[in-house]
Structure formats: C-alpha cells, structure tokens
Amino acid sequence: MITAHPTDMILQEYAAAYIDKRTDVAEHLHHCTACRIKVSQYRSLFETLPGLKKPAFDFNLADTVIRQVAEQRPTVSNNDSSYYSILLIACTCGIGLFSFLLYKTGPILFAEGTLLTTVAIATAGLLLLSVLATEMIKKHYAQIKTLDQFSHAAT
Amino acid sequence: MQSVNQIPANNYDERSIVKDILSGSEAAFRTLIRNTEGLVAQIVYRMIPVAEDRKDIAQDIYLKVFKNLEGFSFNSRLSTWIARIAYNTCLNYLEKNRIMTEDSQRIDADVGADFFSGKAEEQLFTKDRIKILQAAMEKLSPIYKTLITLYHNEGLNYQQISEITGLPNGTVKSYLFRARQTLRKLILQTYQKDAL
C-alpha cells in the first residue's frame, strides 16, 4: 500500500484509466479522501472536455483563400500573344541576319565552307531555338491555365 | 471545371486530392479546406487571442498550404501537415506580437482537496460544467489551450500532437499534464471566489 500521496500525474493517469485499477493507487484511494476527490475531479474534467463547443470561422474561408490564390497570378495576360509574336519575329530576323552574314563570310572564315554548310548550321540553330521557345510557351500556358481555373471560380 | 460535389466531402484519397489540386482543380482545393478548417479553427481560436487577426491568419495558413503542397511527402496525414502549418503560423504570430506562450496563469495557492465539502464539491462539476470549463480554458496559456483541445476535443494522440507541434512525445505528455492540473486549479479558484 502507498503511504505517501501519489503524484498528480499518477492520479490523472488513474482517472483516465491509463493505469490498472488493481494497483496500489486504488488501495491508497480507498483510504485517502483527498486523493479520491482529486481523481473524481480529473475524471469529471476528462468527461466534460470533449463536450466543449468547437469554434468555427464566421466567414467562407474557401472562397476567400481561392480568391487570394487567383490574385497572385502573373502579370502577363493569357491573351497577350503579341509578346510571343514579337519574340518570334526577333528570333527569325536574328537567324536570317546570322545566316546571311555566315553565307557572306563563311568562305572566308572556313576555307572549305560552302552554301550547304552555312544552311545546315543556320537550320540547326533555328531548330534549337524553336524547341526552346515551344517549351517555354507550353510551360507558361499550363501555369496560366491553372491560375485561370481558380480565378474563374473566384469571380 | 470539377464541381464541388464531385469529390466526397469526408472520404477522399489524400494522394488523389493533392494530385487534383496540383493539376489545377479548384473543387479539390475547396474540399480540402472544408475538410480541414475545423481542425485549423481549433488551433487558431485557441492560440490567437485577438479575434480580428484570426481571419488573416486562417487565410495565410491555406495560402501556405497551397504554395507548399507540391513538397508534401505523404510522411504524415495531410490534415496533420496542415495542422502543423497552422500551429507554426500561430506560433510565429505569438512570437512576433510578444504574446506569452508559457503558462501565464500560474496558480500560486495550492487549493487542496480539503477545500471541498459535500454539496459544494458536487455542484462544482455538475452545474454548468461546460460553462465553467470554457471560462477556465480561456485563462490558460495559448499552448496549453491548444494541447488540451487537440487531445481531448479533437481526439488526437500524443504522436499526432507531437507531429503538429514539433515537440517530443514526452514533452507533449508533460505539458498536457500541467495543462490539466492548471485547469483543475483554475476551476477550483473560480469556484472558491464565487462561493465567497
């Protein structure tokens, strides 16, 4: 039998039935009114706590958050294709100029250079740039599409 | 665009909903918010004493969820991960605003069991229990309130609370013990005051 009072932690665990009822604690409680009352109070606490009213937000959280997500979209407009048109024209002009210069200076730069070599280099460059531009545009539109879905729902 | 009703409110696969949100489904994100806002509200209401700030904090929490969802590794439940974001956001707020996070309502007097006698003791925990408890809860520190709520009100276990708060299991257990002890003493003090 426990002669000293059990600690509060032990009494809490006993009240919550975390420890076996057939222990020295039970025997102590049988003789000790003070500890018995404590256990009774903790038990009451454990029974009452789940009944506390659960708080809830007093506004539509989903709508508010989705609206904010939509507001964080990039500044480039979905319909602003002129940006990409200018980029494409600039690339084409640049490649054309590069091809012309290469055609004119190619024979000097490369002793054995021919028109075929010049065209092959220019074509390879053009292809590479096209692939990169396509990937960039695809990525951008995928991002815009995602944000548009949120934007559409929010407005 | 998917409608909200296409996704069951309380029975969805976490991987599917994350995938849907990342592919741009507004309905999936809306469902996620609706299914987890109860738990988030528990944390926000217990930890944030200024009612006006709760709305901004709640929005901030879900914006963080949206931004970081791609990095969610499914090592824990999605709701636990969101609760952790909520807890950390509230904690940052408390630290930023220098609101005490420790036990700010220490009870000096050890109101022992001998204080009670017969009928008075019965009344304490039978009459208006919830009301008395609610009032006492408000006096607890934000961390204690949150731990008590997560454990007793939300039914989470030590491990889940540990994941949310980032505290070791033993610390959660110890804090919970102290929180209940403080709560009991607060109730007794209130009762004593009323009795006088």
ipTM of the complex: 0.74
The per-residue pLDDT for A101 is 76
Among residues B62, B60, B53, the alpha carbon closest in space to that of B33 is found at: B62
Among residues A61, A142, A53, the alpha carbon closest in space to that of B31 is found at: A61
Rounded to the nearest 5°, which phi and psi values hold at A89?
Answer: -65, -45
Among residues A51, A14, A60, A24, the alpha carbon closest in space to that of B59 is found at: A60
Mean of pLDDT values over B23-28 = 90
Mean of pLDDT values over B105-120 = 38
Query: Of A86-100, A103-117, B56-70, which gets the smallest average pLDDT?
Result: A103-117
Give the Cα separation of A39 and A26 in Å (integer): 10
CB-defined contacts A:B, below 8 A: 114
CA distances from A23 to A10, A11, B173 (A): 11, 12, 22
Residue of B nearest to A43 (CA): B125
Contact B87, B146 (CB under 8 A): yes
The per-residue pLDDT for B194 is 46
Query: Of A96-105, B1-10, B131-140, which gets the smallest average pLDDT?
Result: B1-10
For testing contact with chain A, the best of B64, B125, B137, B178 (most A CBs within 10 A)? B125
- Centre a 10 Å sphere on the Cβ of residue A79 and count the other Cβ atoms it contains: 7
Cite the DSSP H helix spans in B48-168: 51-68, 78-96, 118-126, 129-139, 142-148, 158-165
Asked if the model's pLDDT at residue B71 lies above 70, the reply is yes
Mean of pLDDT values over A37-43 = 88
Percent of chain A with pLDDT over 90: 8
Higher pLDDT, A120 or B176: B176
Cβ-Cβ contacts under 8 Å, A68 against chain B: 59, 63
Mean of pLDDT values over A141-147 = 60
Shortest distance between the Cα of B174 and any Cα of chain A, in A, equals: 9
Give the Cα separation of A105 and A103 in Å (integer): 6
Nearest to B33 among A34, A49, A65 (CB): A65
pLDDT band at B165 (very low <50, low <70, confident <90, very high): very high
Query: Of A121-125, B92-96, B122-126, which gets the smallest average pLDDT?
Result: B122-126
Contact B162, B80 (CB under 8 A): no
pLDDT tens string A62-95: 999 999 888 775 554 555 566 677 778 887 888 7
B12 CB-contact burial (10 Å; exposed 0-12 / middle 13-18 / buried 19+): middle
Asked if the model's pLDDT at residue B115 lies above 50, the reply is no
The per-residue pLDDT for B8 is 42
The per-residue pLDDT for B99 is 61
Contact A129, A89 (CB under 8 A): no
pLDDT band at B173 (very low <50, low <70, confident <90, very high): very high
pLDDT tens string A8-23: 888 888 888 766 666 7
